[in-house]
Amino acid sequence: MSCSATSEDQRAALVDLLADIRACRVCAAHFDHEPRPVVRVDPRARIVVSGQAPGIRVHEVGAPFVDPSGERLRDWMGVDETAFYDPAKVAVIPAGFCFPGYTTGGADKPPRPECAPLWHQRLYALLPRVELIILAGAYGQRAYLGKRAKPSMTETVATWRDYAPLVAPTPHPSWRNNAWMKKHPWFEAELVPDLRARVANALRAP
C-alpha cells in the first residue's frame, strides 16, 4: 500500500472516530447539561496537548483553550494563535472531552474517568507524526502516563527530563496555579525554555 493510500485510510478512520466521539453520551447521566465533546485532531499534527477537561467557556464555544489558560499555554509553548489552532501542527486531546460541571464549591469537577480509556488509545493510533505530547496538569498526566506518573503533579513535572523527548509534563496553565509557579521558579527558568525549543523543533520537522 502506498504512503498516500495509508494517509487517506488514516484520515477516513479519524473522521469516523471523531463522529463517534462527538455523538458520545456515555457520561450524559452525570451532567446537568448536554454533553459537547471538545477534541481537535488531524493526522498531520506534530504536537498533542492533553489537559484536563473543557471549562464552561470552551464548552460554550466548542474550541479548546479559548480562555486565559490558553494564552498562558501558548506563551509556554512559544507559539501564537495561528500556529496553535493549525490542526496540521497542534492536536488537543484532553483527559475528558466534555465540560464536567461544577462542584458545590464552584470549581470545575474532575474529568469523567470513562473518557480517556474509551477514546485516547484509538486517537493516538491515528496520529503517526506526533513528536511532542504536552501533558498539562495532573489529569492529563495520569490519563497518558498511567503508572509512569509520579504520586503528585509537582513530582511528575519536577522529573520532566525523565519523560523527554516525547513527553513534556507541565502544570495546568490555569490562574489557580499562580502560587505553584511562584513556589517553583525552576519551571519558568528551566522547563519553559526547553519546552519552547522542543515545540519549535517539532514544528520544523519535515
Q: Round to whole Å and give the CA distance between 164 and 147.
A: 17
3-204: CATH number: 3.40.470.10
Low-confidence ranges of the chain (pLDDT < 70): 1-6
The pLDDT of residue 6: 52
| pTM of the predicted model as reported, rounded to 2 decimal places | 0.93
Stated as kind and residue range, the H or E segment containing 56 is helix 56-61
The pLDDT of residue 5: 47
Domain ranges of the chain: 3-204
The pLDDT of residue 64: 94
**132-136, strands of its sheet edge to edge:** 90-92, 47-50, 132-136, 167-170
The pLDDT of residue 62: 87
